[in-house]
Amino acid sequence: MGTLDGKVAIVSGSGRGIGREIALKLAGEGARVVVNDLDDDPAKETLAAIEAAGGQAVSCVGSVTGDGFAERFVQTAVDEFGGLDIIVNNAGYTWDSVIQKMTDEQWDAILDVHLKAPFRILRAAQPVISAAVKRAKDAGEPVPCRKVVNISSMAGTGGNAGQANYSSGKAGVLGLTKALSKEWGRYNVTVNAVAFGLIKTRLTEAPAGTGGTIDVQGKEIKVGVNPNLLAAMEQMVPLGRGGTPAEAAGAVYLFCIPESDYVSGQTLVCGGGFNI
C-alpha cells in the first residue's frame, strides 16, 4: 500500500534532476504519473525507471511553453489514467545575465517557462477538476483533496544578482500559488510552492566558464555555478552542503500527502536551513 495509491500525477520537466526524483517518488508511493520533458530520451529514461520499480507512468514529451501543450498534458492524464489529482509545475532552466546585458528574448523565455507555462497548465486543469468535483458531489461522495505544487526558488523569495528574469518568474509563481489557493479552495485543491536553495543538478553543477551548457530547443545556454562559488555557497548552508534531487523531491512530496490536506497557499523553503 502506498500513500498515493489511486492518485494520478503530472510532473513537468521530469526527465532529469529534481523533476525525475519527484516522478519516481510519487510513483513509488502508488501514484500513476505522466512524465514530461522537453527532451525525449530523458523522459523515456524516467519512464523506464518508474516501470522497473514496479510503478505506472506514461510520457507526454514537449515544451511546456508550446501552444496547446497544457491541454495535451492534462488530457494525457485523463485519457491514460482517468483523472488528475496532483500537478507539479517543475520544468525550467536558467538563462542568466546582468540586467544591462539581458535581452528581451532571455526575459521572455524565462518568464514563459517558469510563470506562463504553470498558469496555462493550471488553466487547462480547471475544467477537469471542476467536472470531477461536480461528479463526486452529485454522487454524494466526498470530494478528494487534490494537490498543486509549484516549484519556485530562493531566487524568487529573496532575489538573485544576475537573475532578474528567473527571480521575477520564480517570484511570480508564488503569486500564482497564492491566488489559486484562494480560487480553488472550493474544489478542495491545495496549492503550495516549494522554493529550493542549492540543489545539485546540471543547473548548478555544470561549471560555468568551462563550456557548461544545456541545449534548450537547439539553443546552447550556459548554466552552472563556478566551482569556487559553489563551494562558498555550500559553506553558507547551515547543513553544510547542497541538497540532492531526492531530498528536493521529499519536500514536494510533503505537499502531496493527506497529512497536508489543510495546508494551502504556502511556500516551503527547501534550502538546508539557509534563509534569505
Ligand X SMILES: NC(=O)c1ccc[n+]([C@@H]2O[C@H](COP(=O)([O-])OP(=O)(O)OC[C@H]3O[C@@H](n4cnc5c(N)ncnc54)[C@H](O)[C@@H]3O)[C@@H](O)[C@H]2O)c1
Please give the residue ranges that form the binding site for ligand X (CB under 6 A).
12-13, 15-19, 36-39, 42, 63-65, 90-93, 113, 151, 153, 196, 198-199, 201-204
CB of 114 to ligand X, least distance (A): 6
Cell 470530494, residue located: 143
Q: Closer CB to ligand X, residue 128 or residue 216?
A: 216
Q: Closer CB to ligand X, residue 10 or residue 18?
A: 18
Q: What is the DSSP letter of 114?
A: I
Beta strands 213-216 and 86-89 are unpaired
By beta-carbon distance, which residue lies closest to ligand X? 17
Q: Closer CB to ligand X, residue 115 or residue 132?
A: 115
The active-site residue, picked from 166, 187, 253, 262, is 166
d(CA 134, CA 31): 23
Task: Determine the number of helices (DSSP H) and then strands (DSSP E) in the chain.
Answer: 10, 9
Active-site residue, 166 included: yes
CB of 190 to ligand X, least distance (A): 20
The set of residues, in sequence order, having a beta carbon less than 8 Å from that of 38 and lying 6+ positions away, is 13, 15, 61, 62, 63, 64, 91, 216, 217
d(CA 85, CA 129): 8
**Closest-CA residue to 92 (of 194, 9, 8):** 194
CB of 67 to ligand X, least distance (A): 13
Q: Closer CB to ligand X, residue 15 or residue 28?
A: 15
What sign for the dihedral angle of Cα 7, 10, 11, 15?
positive
CB of 109 to ligand X, least distance (A): 9
Active site residues: 166
